Chain A
Amino acid sequence: MIVADQKPIEDIRKMLKGKKKVLAIGCGTCVAVCFAGGKREVGVLSSAVRMATELEGEPVQIDETIVQRQCEKEFIEHLGDQLGEYDAVLSLGCGVGVQTLADQFPGTRILPGLNTKFMGGPTEQGVWEERCQGCGNCLLEYTGGICPISRCAKQLMNGPCGGTDEGGRCEVDPDTPCAWFNIWERMDALDIQDQLMEIQPPKDWSTSRDGGRRKIVRKDLQKPKLDEGS
């Protein structure tokens, strides 16, 4: 899932300065399950900002709503009729949600209420960790299902770096397990540690961000076009 965190109230107040009527829009998918932008969080944030701005003497009316998935046009289209009455929208979706709203409603000021952090998941109640950087050419096959791109501070392809401490923690952050220590343990348990003796070539980053903005086209799913001539 996409994991996000709410922006500090102070930042949101600054963004909303001078606005009179704002619609806060949550998202019922990723950011709802990481408790950043679901219905409850929209309620709490809106309530806090309403009170803050009233105490400041410049009250902002904040209405609340939520859509099931803010990153798809079909789920947000219905909002079009109502946006006219608002000075701005405060999106509690991830960055994709914010941009989908902005693309769909170019005449409305769309503001981000969240800081989108990473792709990851919960590792214990109340804790989320990064697991994937969308490198575009997954190599989990070689690393026992543990991603060194997102979980090793140095993104090593042939680790560990030598800085791992005795407890198997990363030298960059002693609160984080060394990804390569984990990879070794995992592959040892699977009895495939000999695969680690094969040197991995440098990673081709052109499938990642380095190759520019990425796009997937699925011809099998695209809307068929009727041939005019037939």
Chain B
Amino acid sequence: MKEISNYEPQIIAFCCMHCAYAAADLAGSSRFAYPSSLKIVAIPCTGRTDMGHILKTFEDGADGVLVAGCLEGRCHFQTGNLYARQRVEHVAELLDQIGLEGERARMINISAGMGAKFAELANEFAKTISALGPTGLKKKPASRELPLPSGKIE
């Protein structure tokens, strides 16, 4: 994709509050820099992210989505991060199919004490996304959910 000078990739990082969120915080307080255009969304467990969240994040203008969970085997809910990895991989395949690069969605695993590592992985991801450039999607096209006649279906 096109090289754009001063281009700051918009990255959303879904961070598990038991590990990656604290790691990002530690990176900040220890002054390990990561891109300011990376926005963090704290979630109770990466297992909470579903494919819809990730896709809609791209629709809303993100150039890259990072899902950051605990080290494998260390998930607070045992397997939430393993589910998350499967979903991120699935989203990556879907992105390839729709003409966006699958590398724009990435799963990383990190512990709460790994502040420097968080910054390193975030910078590395930002570099990948910068190289890919903007997604080419403008603002999310108008779409709506029709109201249900009665009750709510999940």
Q: Which of A8, A56, A62 contacts B99 (CB 8 A)?
A: A56
A82 to B146, CA, bound (A): 9
Q: In the complex, what residues of B have CB within 8 A of residue A63's CB?
A: 143-146
Query: Chain B, interface size: which category?
Result: 20 to 34
- Chain A CB within 8 A of B48 CB: no
A23 to B148, CA, bound (A): 14
Contact B145 A50 (CB under 8 A): no
Residue of A nearest to B138 (CB): A54
Residue of A nearest to B97 (CB): A9
- Chain A CB within 8 A of B71 CB: no
Q: In the complex, what residues of B have CB within 8 A of residue A82's CB?
A: 146
- Chain B CB within 8 A of A59 CB: yes
- Chain A CB within 8 A of B3 CB: no
Most buried by B among A10, A32, A50, A59: A50
Interface segment out of the listed A38-46, A93-101, A116-124, A188-196: A38-46
Contact B143 A51 (CB under 8 A): no
Contact B98 A46 (CB under 8 A): no
Most buried by A among B58, B98, B135: B98
- Chain B CB within 8 A of A218 CB: no
Most buried by B among A32, A48, A64: A48
A91 to B81, CA, bound (A): 32
What's the tally of chain A residues with a CB closer than 8 Å to chain B? Answer: 33
Q: State how many angstroms separate the Cβ of A77 from the closest Cβ of chain B.
A: 9
Contact A61 B99 (CB under 8 A): no
Contact A65 B94 (CB under 8 A): no
A79 to B149, CA, bound (A): 9
Q: In the complex, what residues of B have CB within 8 A of residue A10's CB?
A: 97
Interface segment out of the listed B28-36, B49-57, B108-116, B120-128: B49-57
Q: In the complex, what residues of B have CB within 8 A of residue A49's CB?
A: 98
Q: In the complex, what residues of B have CB within 8 A of residue A79's CB?
A: 146
Q: State how many angstroms separate the Cβ of A154 from the closest Cβ of chain B.
A: 35
A-B contact pairs, 20 of them (CB 8 A): A9-B97, A9-B98, A39-B154, A46-B143, A47-B58, A50-B141, A51-B58, A51-B100, A51-B137, A52-B98, A52-B99, A55-B98, A55-B100, A61-B143, A64-B144, A64-B145, A65-B146, A67-B153, A68-B151, A79-B146
- Besides the known contacts A38-B153, A51-B137, A65-B146, 6 further A-B residue pairs in the complex with CB atoms under 8 A apart: A9-B94, A47-B58, A50-B141, A59-B141, A61-B142, A66-B148
Closest 5 pairs between A and B when the two form their complex, measured CB to CB: A52-B98, A65-B146, A28-B153, A47-B55, A43-B52
